[in-house]
Amino acid sequence: MNNTLDALPIGVLKCGFDRRIKYVNRMFEDILACDRNKLYGYSLEYILKMFGGDKQDEKFLVDELTKNKKGKNHIIWICKTLRGDVVKLSVTAQKISNGILVLIREVKREQELENVHLQTQTILNAISNSVLMIDNENKIILYNNAFEEAYEIEDENITGMSLDEFNKLTHFNSNEFFDSVLRGNSDKQYHEVALVSMKGNRKEMMMFFAPIKNVEGQIIGGISVGTDITEIRNEQQKMIQQEKLALLGQMGAGIVHETRNYLTTIKGRCQLIDLLSQDKTIKDHTAKIKSNIEEVNKIISEFLFLSKPREAEKDEVSLCDIFKSIKAMIETSSLVKGIDIEFDLSKEERYLYCDEAQLKQVILNICKNAIDAMAEVKSAKLKINTGFNEQTNEMILEISDNGKGISKEDLKKIGTPFFTTKKSGTGLGLNVCYQIIKQHNGKIDVQSELGRGTTFTITLPCIEDDEEFEAI
């Protein structure tokens, strides 16, 4: 037992209920520069006087402690070592089964350790990479702010938590990497991993794992440094997709050109048959052929825009004027399918600097998708609202339906080329809409719930007042 107490980094003094010294450890000797063997048998009061303690401290430690039979007391004691040095000590006295145990620590040393920890934490928090440190028992001992942000940790202190427990929260098994460095199998390891944050968001991380060693080279823990590469991977995927589309555009441009020539010929022949024949059945068939030709031509046009978007021909445009020109088209296509339509167009608006034809294309495309989504809904309703956000100087357009809605998984893919939830869709229409709005420095936001409907919100920047004045 005494050997264990000698190994402690704090001073320990033990006395009986008669207040006579029975044991003093090595750290007590070092702090007060004394010989412990010369202290045994003396009373606690004598020891306090030897090191220059005042009477108030003696009374507190000796009298007050013996009165409190269950608890412990703590004071700051200023004394002199036998070398004559003045030291400030943190003294804690605790009653034990066979007497009193007194623990002493240098206040300066405690503060230095606290400052070192504070400085370490400050330095780590200044690092943009996430940092996690564990001990050799796989317990978390330190982490920085970047780690909290990457793992989206809120209102929870994970210090002292085991890696097993933390891994369950993030669906990522880091034990295998840490186990390898703790066993000394590798000094450095780099891994690209996928994990789930506390909020359920998937993250791609580049992780570096290494052991922490003491001055003797023994492994006493492990450290991981992580870089969030989620955005980088997303951008890489976009670039790959764009390269695919560019290649597809190059390959398909010639094919599309030839196809359009054939479509023009077919359409011309169809119109000729329609003129020459008076048979109603034949006319019905020619009408269907022309309708199919228009559908194919529309798909080809979207494909061409996707592979080689045309330059927008921008001018000052009013959103209300746009709706006046296409309102009849939207109402006709809605009413034909038994869908009620509600317009709420704000009188307060600002001019947009945009390509009117392209903006009409976006509105009609989204409205068409909304109408298709309500095909099996009994009380189908299409709502179109416009508004002006004075703070951001933006016009806002909302197109809502009460159709079948979009799942959370599919919602993430909305606007991706060739992704569609329709049986006969190409997945190009919405992608074109996203590209057009992006060209106009706007954005599209989609909110949807299965069985309740979908709302597309388009936000477009307005012309600044000084720009309008210059135009006038």
- Binning pLDDT at 50, 70 and 90, where does residue 250 land? low
**Whole-model pTM?**
0.43
CA torsion through residues 314, 365, 244, 239, sign: positive
pLDDT for residue 443 is more than 80: yes
- Cα–Cα distance, 396 to 96 (Å, whole number): 74
Coil vs helix vs strand at 54: coil
Residues in the chain: 472
20-25-29-34 Cα dihedral, nearest 10 degrees:
30
Contact 158, 143 (CB under 8 A): yes
CATH fold group of domain 127-228: Beta-Lactamase (3.30.450)
Q: Which residues touch 283 (CB under 8 Å, ≥6 apart)?
A: 274, 277
The structure tokens listed for 403 are 């159709």
CATH number corresponding to 315-470: 3.30.565.10
Radius of gyration from C-alpha coordinates of the chain? 39
DSSP letter assigned to residue 64 = I
pLDDT for residue 383 is more than 90: yes
Going from N- to C-terminal start, the domains of the chain cover 2-106, 127-228, 233-307, 315-470
CA torsion through residues 77, 81, 82, 84, sign: negative
320-358 pLDDT, tens digit each: 888 888 888 888 888 878 889 898 888 888 889 888 888
* Region 54-77 average pLDDT: 59
CA torsion through residues 390, 391, 395, 401, sign: negative
State how beta strands 219-228 and 130-135 pair: antiparallel
Say if 2-106 and 127-228 have the same CATH topology.
yes
Contact 293, 300 (CB under 8 A): no
- What is each CA distance from 142 to 88, 133, 134, 315, in whole angstroms? 30, 5, 7, 57
The structure tokens listed for 289 are 């052929």
Contact 104, 48 (CB under 8 A): no
Q: Which helix (H) or strand (E) holds 382?
A: strand 381-389
- Cα–Cα distance, 182 to 192 (Å, whole number): 20
- What is each CA distance from 65 to 60, 61, 317, in whole angstroms? 7, 6, 86
CATH fold group of domain 2-106: Beta-Lactamase (3.30.450)
190: number of CA atoms within 13 Å, CB side?
2
- Cα–Cα distance, 48 to 209 (Å, whole number): 51
The mean pLDDT of the chain is 80
pLDDT for residue 287 is more than 80: yes
- Binning pLDDT at 50, 70 and 90, where does residue 460 land? very high
Cα 91 to its chain centre, rounded Å, is 47
